[in-house]
Amino acid sequence: MTFELEHTDPASDARTGTITTAHGKIKTPIFMPVGTCGSVKGLHFSELREQVKAQIILGNTYHLYLRPGLDTLQKAGGLHKFNTWDRPILTDSGGFQVFSLTGIRKLKEEGCEFRSHIDGSKHFFTPENVMDTERIIGADIMMAFDECPPGESDYQYAKKSLGLTQRWLDRCVKRFNETEPLYGYEQSLFPIVQGCTFKDLRREAAKHVADKGADGNAIGGLAVGEPTEVMYEMIETVNEILPKDKPRYLMGVGTPQNILEAIERGVDMFDCVMPTRNGRNAMLFTYDGTMNMRNKKWENDFSPIDPDGCDIDRLHSKAYLHHLFKAQELLAMQIASIHNLSFYLRLVTDARHHIEQGDFVAWKRSVIDNLGRRV
């Protein structure tokens, strides 16, 4: 994998670039739709390509390991062949999912024992077998196995957790370097910076990660309940240390406003379930603000869902989408998910354009307040 830094904004740390992987190029800044179980919930890949304009999607190691399982994925030739997505894929290591299984997991130096949320069966993840699992999945970008501590962790727990994450990262890198890709193309490993909301721990983590010389680096453990200003402060702290010539991925973030603020601070890659999850619950994101499509105010509004959006936005009216949600038609969730994902991709594409033009900060200021209001 390579990363070419192309433009930097004169008034901020925002930048554009191109990531080149075995399955294609990714123009940054980029938003990555979450395809947890090998699919983006409710959408076909043709819609992701043609309407959403997705350049890369996510898969999740925990969920894919449990179902369909590694034997099926390896027999299929990896996730790309199994689900027919021919563009880049990134896999989360499953750490966040495992550690969210409070009460049904046990954390040890060796790894983490947990019970499946599907059938209660017992499993054990280690840095080594997670690397092996991600090799079998075949993602272009593999994430390191880390502990994602609770957002309200005190300093002592956060420090202890970071030490474990750093030792696990060393083991991940060793295993990654000892093994070969299975399907004839190269894969990249991204370490993850943890450290909760403590500046000294974030700096220590960023230095440890930067020293690995990986193809790219991630920032984890944010947007888990801390104030947004604290999140932005942590991003700034970390990005002062992470190398500028490698892509930076902010995991699990967030709202359109979060994304623009993070781009301004030098982040290149984003993912979040919010566009699809909120879409399934009738919330649409637009440049004018958020719309609840169950509200009666849309009942006789025959204007397009978004006249500047994707083809489906221009084809269907707000009144029709309101009707679909009231009637509990599955098509409502599908249309809303397509709209939200296409809007997120449009947002980062517009950000890229304004970074290239050299007026990103002024543009961001002109749109950010409207993004958060309710229409």
Distance between CA 25 and CA 279 in Å, rounded? Answer: 28
Closest CA to 38 of 61, 71, 8, 13: 61
Integer angstrom CA distances of residue 145 from 174, 227, 307, 339: 13, 26, 43, 33
Distance in angstroms (rounded) separating the CA atoms of residues 275 and 336: 9
Q: Chunked in runs of 10, what are the mean pLDDT values of the chain (375 residues)?
A: 98 98 98 97 97 98 97 98 98 84 84 92 96 98 94 93 97 98 98 97 98 98 93 98 98 97 98 98 98 98 98 98 98 98 98 98 98 96
pTM of the prediction? 0.97
221 annotated as ligand-binding: yes
| pLDDT value of residue 254 | 93
Is residue 210 classed exposed, middle or buried when 0-12, 13-18 and 19+ CB atoms within 10 A define those classes? middle
Phi-psi region of 191 (alpha: psi -120 to 50; beta: other; left: phi over 0): beta
- The answer to whether 116 is a known ligand-binding residue is no
Annotation-wise, does 252 bind a ligand? no
> Is 92 an annotated catalytic residue?
yes
C-alpha to C-alpha distances, 20 to 28, 58, 88, 281, 351, nearest whole angstrom: 11, 16, 9, 35, 20
Catalytic residue among 268, 271, 306, 313: 271
Nearest to 309, CA basis, from 326, 323, 321: 321
Q: How confident is the model at residue 94, as a pLDDT?
A: 84
Specify whether the CB–CB gap between 165 and 205 falls below 8 A. Answer: yes
Query: What is the assigned CATH class of domain 2-271?
Result: alpha beta
| pLDDT given at position 103 | 75
Q: Which of the following is catalytic: 13, 92, 306, 313?
A: 92
Q: What is the dihedral of CA 236, 247, 220, 96, to 10 degrees?
A: 170
Residue 170 annotated as part of some ligand binding site:
no
Ligand-binding annotation for 132, yes or no, is no
Tell me how far apart the alpha carbons of residues 38 and 367 are, in angstroms, rounded to a whole number. 34
Tokens of 207: 């230095």
